Amino acid sequence: MNMKTLDDYMNDPDIANEPIPWREIHAIRLKVHDETKDMTFHERKVYYDESTERFFASMGKTVPYAKLCQ
């Protein structure tokens, strides 16, 4: 399966006339939706947990909350 890149979403004609900051927000929202649309609740939770951990790790930090639902 060929996943679209964020640049592909940025060039979506439905958001092409938006200011750049808005277009980035909409592109990220569209990408996340496409990546998670067929996932179960548990799969989506794992997706968001892992994404959050990668985000904080990229800044050299740990996630600032306890994982309550395991």
Domain boundaries of the chain, sorted by first residue: 6-58
Q: What are phi and psi of 34, to 5 degrees?
A: -65, -35
pLDDT attached to residue 27: 94
pLDDT attached to residue 44: 96
Per-residue pLDDT band at 3 (split at 50, 70, 90)? confident
Q: At what angle do helices 41-58 and 20-36 cross, to 10 degrees?
A: 140
9's enclosing H/E stretch is helix 6-10
- pLDDT for 10 beyond 70: yes
Dihedral-angle region of residue 8 (phi above 0 means left; psi in -120 to 50 means alpha; beta otherwise): alpha
